[in-house]
Amino acid sequence: MAYLERTSETMGHGVVAARSVREIADTPQARTQRHGQHHVVFYEGDAAERIYELQDGIVMLYKLLPDGRRQVVEILTRGMIFGTAGGPRYDVSAETLTPVRLAVHERREVDASAVLQSHVAKCLMAQMEGLHEHAMLLGRKSAMERVASYFMRMVPNRGGEGCAGPVSEACDPHDLVLNMTRQEIADYLGLTIETVSRVISELKRRGVIRLERQDRIHVTRVCGLCQLTGIH
């Protein structure tokens, strides 16, 4: 557990003390990997020999159809796990969206360690809820609801059910950074790039958001955005 658990010094936002360690040591336990943006950690179909915990940064998991259609199935943030597999091969590809720091465990290590498995179970239980939510989004929400939900994901204390008060403190503006291209967003939301763009423009038009830059969004009215997610 010690190695999967985030140590207090790393809890802060990407502080990183000088320790220019690429691999802390050859601990039989976890080792740490670092990767830059747009690095593919593994491909769908690769032998599933390692399990990863994301210590810092963002990773996306996606699947491809032979004709090139892509679906981003999960977006992972700090503390989440990936690389788990039911069979001998990965069912998705994993690609970094930002520079990342990963804790890496050999599959057999995990198979042999009750502590690790316990941790994996806990993480997967939580992550599964995200997948359920995403299935609802993909199967039943309109383009506007999908984009609004996507933005709300990135607002801390996002109005999950208990967003109640429409004019309360939750209504103050909020800034967020996308870390994804329009194409990646589209592939995550099950839309085309054009539709994503159009919906964003519509949100600007309605005064709900403002674009500081392509990938930096100022949410003028968080509650207004939340109202558009379909969960109210």
Q: How far is the CB of 201 from DNA (least distance, A)?
A: 3
| 201 touches a copy of itself (CB under 8 A) | no
Angle between helices 143-153 and 114-140 (to 10 degrees): 150
User: What is the per-residue binding string for DNA in 201-220, x denoting contact by CB under 7 A?
Assistant: x---------x-xxx-----
Among 46, 49, 91, 202, binds a copy of itself (CB under 8 A): 91
The reply on whether position 148 binds DNA by CB under 7 A is: no
Question: Read out DSSP for the chain?
Answer: -TTTSPPHHHHSSS---S---SSS---SS-EEEEE-TT-EEE-TTSB--EEEEEEES-EEEEEE-TTS-EEEEEEE-TT-EE---SSSB-SSEEEESS-EEEEEEEHHHHHH-HHHHHHHHHHHHHHHHHHHHHHHHHHH--HHHHHHHHHHHTSTT--SSTT--SSSGGGS-EEEE--S-HHHHHHHHTS-HHHHHHHHHHHHHTTSEEEEETTEEEES-HHHHHHTTS--
Alpha carbons 1 and 114: distance in angstroms, whole number: 10
Site membership for a copy of itself, residue 120 (CB under 8 A): yes
Residue closer to DNA, measured from CB, 157 or 201:
201
Q: Does the CA dihedral 55-57-61-67 come out positive or negative?
A: negative
Shortest Cβ 34–a copy of itself spacing (Å)? 25
Give the x/- contact pattern for DNA in 112-131, rule: CB under 7 A.
--------------------
Q: Which of 16, 39, 85, 101 binds a copy of itself (CB under 8 A)?
A: 85
Interface segment toward DNA; rule CB under 7 A; list 41-49, 98-106, 107-115, 136-144: 136-144
Q: Residues 155-194 vs a copy of itself: string with x where CB under 8 A?
A: --------------------------------x-xx----
Please select the residue that binds a copy of itself; options are 13, 19, 69, 205, rule is CB under 8 A: 69
**Which spans of this chain sit near DNA (rule: CB under 7 A)?**
142-144, 181-183, 190-198, 200-201, 211, 213-215
**Which spans of this chain sit near a copy of itself (rule: CB under 8 A)?**
61, 63, 65-67, 69-71, 73-74, 84-87, 91-92, 114, 117-118, 120-122, 124-129, 131-136, 138-141, 187, 189-190, 230-232
